[in-house]
Structure 1
Amino acid sequence: MTPVTSFAGKTVALFGLGGSGLATALALKEGGARVIACDDNPAKMAEANAKGIETADLRNADWSQFSSLILSPGVPLTHPEPHWSAKLAREAGVEIIGDIELFCRERAKIAPNAPFVAITGTNGKSTTTALIAHILREAGRDVQMGGNIGTAILSLGLPADNRIHVIECSSFQIDLAPSLSPTIGVHLNLSPDHIDRHGTMELYAAIKERLVAKAGLAVIGVDDPLSRAIADSCEAKGVNVARVSVEPLGVKGVFADGETLVGVTTSDAAPIANLSGISSLRGAHNAQNAAAAVAIALALNVSPEQIRSGLHTFPGLPHRMEEVGRIGATLFINDSKATNADSTEKALKSFDDIFWILGGKAKEGGIELLTSYFSKIRKAYLIGAASDEFATTLGDDVPHVHCGTLDKAVAQAAEDAQTLGSPAVVLLSPACASYDQFPNYEMRGNHFRDLVRALPGIEAKGA
């Protein structure tokens, strides 16, 4: 835990007692603050009480006593409209911040030079966060990894000069962290997502830019126009920028030349590592993720030899183009984390002869941007609420069948793929949220994995 001593003696309101919210309340209390917490779920309130956290209905609170409102990142700050707790805080002139901001203030107080790597982007941020943490650990560094990827930031160890915090940040978390100024800030890419929570694409991009705007080094992916604009904007303001790309670079950074990662300095360009044969980093999108990780590792004085070793031993993350197993020449891939078309595009780029399982709760735009990849798809298996909409988009270009459930889709896709008589891929990459049939993408991916591992003749990976 990182006790938040910078709030000692203060009284703070806290709304949202999920995993990170409860961890934040405990860290504040441990640091000497008085916390009055609230949640819409009475069970969460009871759980907090049992751990010694004071709770109350903040609607009836005296807001003049609060120095701050600590808001869970899952609670709307501005759009589609501010949560009632945010409205009350603003009316009382109380600042609204989140757990990332609390960490930043504590770091500034107790260890201002502690290495802090913060990673964001619409897609790929979890893989990049896990990859850089893995490379650093393999190189013998003391690494604390968390944030949006899993462990709440205040549940991690204290910031210290010999300890590196590697933290994934969502746009919601950045929006609640006005003093965010990491040692290394990483922005990977931008595509439409969470517009319901940020109002416009321009506001979404502006929030993402905040993570790198005050970084000691800004590592920025430049393979989309909005991210290129962020890199140019930061550089114009005097930020030290290293660009990453899957195209050749003529400026400082790291780029992917096919499967070779090339480092570019002001004086030369030299190959650093090769991704050939690393199944956990398959595809151009992972080449960009790996290029970002290499740029970070080099900045933290990790040797090229240690970087290469870390890349080759990286196990990958569940639900992100995860190899589940094989039946003969048929490979089964769990890409349940692909909850929008932009993310699914990465998977479709990476394979041929695809038996594609897709569907769920559709995002804005559906799968229209994927039409150029339809020639790679042997057959599509539609599940969930988006089935009719997606069937219309697939039209006569892609043979498809309405399966309804993931169980039926896996069984049919496995049978069809094995009749092909040549290498094929059964790919779960839904391009949709899971909420119509599963509580989250993890449970959807876990169910896919269980279904595949139950197939006759499966050679399961990691079972």
Structure 2
Amino acid sequence: MIPVRGFTGKTVAVFGLGRTGLTAARALQAGGAKVILWDENEKSREAARAEGFTLVDLSNADWYAISALMLSPGVPLTHPKPHWVVEKARDAGVEILGDIELFARTVAAAPAHKRPKIVAVTGTNGKSTTTALIAHVLAQAGRDIRIGGNIGYGVLGLEDMHGGAVYVLELSSYQLDLTSSLKADVSIILNISPDHLERHGDMEGYVAAKKRILLNQGKGDFAIVGVDDPWCAQICTEITAANRRTIWPISARRAMGRGVYSLQGMLYDATDGRVNEVADLTRARSLPGRHNWQNASAAYAACRALGLTAQDAVDGLMSFPGLAHRMETVGVLDKVRFVNDSKATNADAARQAMSAYPRFYWIAGGRAKVGGIDELTELFGSVAKAYLIGEAAEAFAGVLDGKAPYVISGDLESATRAAFADARASGEEAIVLLSPACASFDQFADFEERGDAFRAAVHALAAPVAKEARR
């Protein structure tokens, strides 16, 4: 745990008692703060009460006695409208912050020789893979790494800091909205496409949240920015004009005179003004497809910025085992391979997996994002058949009608069974791909639970197949 500094003897309210909220409450208390907690869910309140925390209904609290509100990132800050707890804090002039901001202030309060290195990663897609990839490469090279934020553990639950540690943090736009003083040694913006617009109001608000990862950087810091989409390309242009930090653009689509890029799977390092071919990423089994080549370019650049040799960085890329729920093979039955891409919660993320396979049986659906799957039309020719689940099933059927065969399966288990039956009947080596292009919240708590349910459904198919083989 990282005890939070700066609130000793002060009252801090914590609202939202999921993983982030409870972790922050423990860290605040360890740092000497008086912590009061609340959540609208009784089960969450019980979990906090069981740990001995003080529960206070914040709708009736004396807000003028509260120094700060630690807000969980899932609670609306501005859109579609501010949550009531946000309005009460603002009316009383109480500062609102998130766990990343608490971490940032604790780092800033430490003596210079005890401050760790910080690598901060954001983007619409690829954040988790890139974060895990950087952590893997650094660990393989012998660095003391801690990985957290929007992946794995809440940042304040990680092992306490020292000067030789490297914190590799995945940061969502929700977390960045609550962060103002983080100074990352290496900041990465992979890509930006429309997402979470209901929480940020419009693309301008969403892009502004992503750009907050660059705050406070200066001489000696690194900004690694993808330039394969117009929003990130504009950000790269803007910060280049500011001429403070070192800027390395990354691309998986074109050659560049500086930065790091990948073409047809070949990785090129142009960070020192010369272009050097450093790796064949097609040999990295856990990094298939152009989107993963962009992730690898970013990870390579980050590790070089932290002083790794080119060879050490490449060796780490090649040994990366992959990430759960992102193009993860969860089973092979007969000649059918099942790929869990549950983390594809929007169309752009699904595009990345769909583009990696020439033909596949597609399980899609859930709670649709703005735009649905309209932008994936050019990939429908690769869909052998679609199996539609969740709230979006009817709408997706309308988009697919006449473009690809489909069936409305309703739930994930039924879709997995039907997809396997059709893929197996083809007699060919086949791919069953769960890449939902949707949020999971209509049927599952999160994408991890959805991916685990897919894995369980695949394993349930294995026993009958094995029984048939023994006959």
For 2:337, give the aligned amino acid.
Answer: L
Shift of 1:189: 0.8
Match of 1:247 among 230, 246, 253: 253
CA offsets, 1:424-459, max 9 Å, x none?
21111111122222222222211211222233448x
What SS does the aligned partner of 1:209 have?
helix
CA offsets, 1:159-185, max 9 Å, x none?
221000001111111111111221111
> Which residue does the alignment assign to 1:188?
190
For 1:212, give the aligned amino acid.
Answer: L
Shift of 1:36: 1.6
> Which residue does the alignment assign to 2:167?
165
CA offsets, 1:97-125, max 9 Å, x none?
11100110110111444200111111110
For 2:302, give the aligned amino acid.
Answer: I
Q: 1:266 to 1:137 in 2, by over 3 A?
A: closer
> Which residue does the alignment assign to 2:89?
89
| Contact 1:213 1:234 (8 Å CA) reproduced | no
Match of 2:364 among 358, 362, 368: 358
Coordinate RMSD, CA, aligned? 1.6
Hey, what's the Cα distance between the residues in 2 that align with 1:20 and 1:188? Answer: 24
4+ long deviations beyond 3 Å: none
| Contact 1:243 1:251 (8 Å CA) reproduced | no
| Contact 2:179 2:212 (8 Å CA) reproduced | no
Taking structure 2 as the reference length, the TM-score comes to: 0.94
Hey, what's the Cα distance between the residues in 2 that align with 1:427 and 1:448? Answer: 10
Shift of 1:350: 0.3
> Which residue does the alignment assign to 2:403?
397
Hey, what's the Cα distance between the residues in 2 that align with 1:436 and 1:164? Answer: 37
Taking structure 1 as the reference length, the TM-score comes to: 0.95
CA offsets, 1:359-396, max 9 Å, x none?
12222111110001111111111222222211111111
What SS does the aligned partner of 2:450 have?
helix
What SS does the aligned partner of 1:7 have?
coil
What SS does the aligned partner of 1:60 have?
coil
| Contact 2:5 2:105 (8 Å CA) reproduced | no
What SS does the aligned partner of 2:22 have?
helix
| Contact 2:255 2:263 (8 Å CA) reproduced | no
Hey, what's the Cα distance between the residues in 1 that align with 2:272 and 2:317? Answer: 25
Q: How do 1:209-288 and structure 2 match up within 5 A? A: 209-215=211-217, 216-238=221-243, 239-288=245-294
Hey, what's the Cα distance between the residues in 2 that align with 1:155 and 1:118? Answer: 17
Match of 1:312 among 304, 318, 324: 318
The answer to whether 1:25 aligns with 2:25 is: yes
| Contact 2:300 2:314 (8 Å CA) reproduced | no
CA offsets, 1:126-156, max 9 Å, x none?
1111110011111111001101102011111
Q: 1:43 to 1:380 in 2, by over 3 A?
A: closer
Identity %: 48
Q: 1:203 to 1:251 in 2, by over 3 A?
A: farther
Q: How do 1:92-171 and structure 2 match up within 5 A? A: 92-112=92-112, 113-171=115-173
Shift of 1:44: 2.5
409-418 or 78-87, which moves further after superposition? 409-418
| Contact 1:254 1:292 (8 Å CA) reproduced | yes
247-256 or 23-32, which moves further after superposition? 247-256
> Which residue does the alignment assign to 1:461?
none
Shift of 1:266: 4.4
Hey, what's the Cα distance between the residues in 2 that align with 1:265 and 1:255? Answer: 10
What SS does the aligned partner of 2:59 have?
helix
For 1:278, give the aligned amino acid.
Answer: A
Hey, what's the Cα distance between the residues in 2 that align with 1:42 and 1:327? Answer: 43
197-206 or 321-330, which moves further after superposition? 321-330
> Which residue does the alignment assign to 2:469?
none
Hey, what's the Cα distance between the residues in 1 that align with 2:61 and 2:185? Answer: 38
CA offsets, 1:301-322, max 9 Å, x none?
1122222221122111111110
What SS does the aligned partner of 1:5 have?
coil
| Contact 1:243 1:252 (8 Å CA) reproduced | yes
> Which residue does the alignment assign to 1:178?
180
